[in-house]
Amino acid sequence: MTHAFYVYASYGFAALVVAAVILWTWADGRARRRELAALEAAGIRRRSARARDGE
């Protein structure tokens, strides 16, 4: 029982770090999708889209 606090604190910290990375990745993905939508609305297309259209 002497190490219980250390073990629980370590697991708690690891869980917080994992949750932070998940949230950061999710938020960054949303930001990139918004940026891509803004670029496409401005008429800037992806190279992969151009290759599919045969341009």
How distant, in Å, are the alpha carbons of 3, 4, 35 from that of 16?
20, 18, 28
pTM of structure:
0.68
- Concatenating the DSSP letter of every residue in 8-41 gives HHHHHHHHHHHHHHHHHHHHHHHHHHHHHHHHHH
What's the gap between Cα 31 and its chain centre? 9
Q: Which residue do the tokens 């938020």 mark?
A: 27
Check residue 48 and give its pLDDT.
Answer: 76
Q: Tens digits of per-residue pLDDT, 5-41?
A: 999 999 999 999 999 999 999 999 999 999 999 999 9
Confidence of residue 46 (pLDDT cuts 50, 70, 90): confident
